[in-house]
Amino acid sequence: DGGITQSPKYLFRKEGQNVTLSCEQNLNHDAMYWYRQDPGQGLRLIYYSQIVNDFQKGDIAEGYSVSREKKESFPLTVTSAQKNPTAFYLCASTDSLDSYSNQPQHFGDGTRLSIL
C-alpha cells in the first residue's frame, strides 16, 4: 500500500537537544511538506521541497532544518533554537507541481513532540 510514514509517533526532547522526525513516502510524489499544528490554529508550513536536493522555507522555519537527499525522504530536525517545540508535526506530499492541479496533499499520521 502506498502512503506516507512518519516516525516516531511520540517524541520527547530534552533542553538543548536536537531531534529528528522521519518522513518517508512511497507514492513517488515530487513535492513534500512539513507542517506544525497547534491547538486552535491552522496548519503552519515549516519547510517544503519540490524536488530532490532543493527545499524552501515556509512561514515558521526558524529553529528547524530539513534535507531532501532522496525523493522518498524528507526528515525534519527540530533544533535547540526552537524554544517552543511542543506540537503535532505533520508531513505531507503531493503528486503534481502543477499549480492548477486538483491533486490534494496526502498526510502522514503525525509525530507528537513534547518537552521533558
Partner 1 sequence: GQNIDQPTEMTATEGAIVQINCTYQTSGFNGLFWYQQHAGEAPTFLSYNVLDGLEEKGRFSSFLSRSKGYSYLLLKELQMKDSASYLCAVRDHPLDSNYQLIWGAGTKLIIKP
Distance from the first to the final alpha carbon of the chain: 35
Among 28, 56, 86, 114, binds partner 1 (CB under 8 A): 56
Nearer to partner 1 (CB atom), residue 7 or residue 17: 7
- Indicate the residue among 16 and 104 with the shorter CB distance to partner 1: 104
99 lines the binding site for partner 1 (CB under 8 A): yes
User: How many other C-beta atoms lie within 10 A of the C-beta of residue 93?
Assistant: 26
User: What are the helix (H) ranges across 27-104?
Assistant: none
Q: Where are the alpha helices (DSSP H) in 37-112?
A: none
Tell whether residue 74 is a contact of partner 1 (CB under 8 A).
no
CB of 82 to partner 1, least distance (A): 20
108 touching partner 1, by CB under 8 A = yes
- Residue pointed to by grid coordinates 525534519: 76
